[in-house]
Amino acid sequence: MRVILASPEAKVWSVRKHIPLGLGYLAAVLREGGHDVMIYDASIEDVTVDFYLDQAEAEGRPYDMIGVTATTPL
């Protein structure tokens, strides 16, 4: 299964205060299970997640699942 895990840009803080470690843990477990996983972090990417989704579709290898993380202010 092809999976893309996304961390959207957080408008809550002016500066990034965390690294999405949870996505890394999830990706590791999925990869150990034989899945093809990509992590998308909007705070450091120059393109949107749609770029990767469209690219995968054009290659004939679309993602089967999209996981999105969410963080709320304390």
The tens digit of pLDDT for each residue in 15-46 reads 656 678 899 999 999 999 999 999 998 888 88
pLDDT of residue 12: 64
Whether residue 8 is predicted with pLDDT greater than 90 in this model: the reply is no
Residue 36 φ/ψ, nearest 5 degrees: -90, 115
Average pLDDT, the chain: 86
Whether residue 14 is predicted with pLDDT greater than 60 in this model: the reply is no
Whether residue 74 is predicted with pLDDT greater than 70 in this model: the reply is no
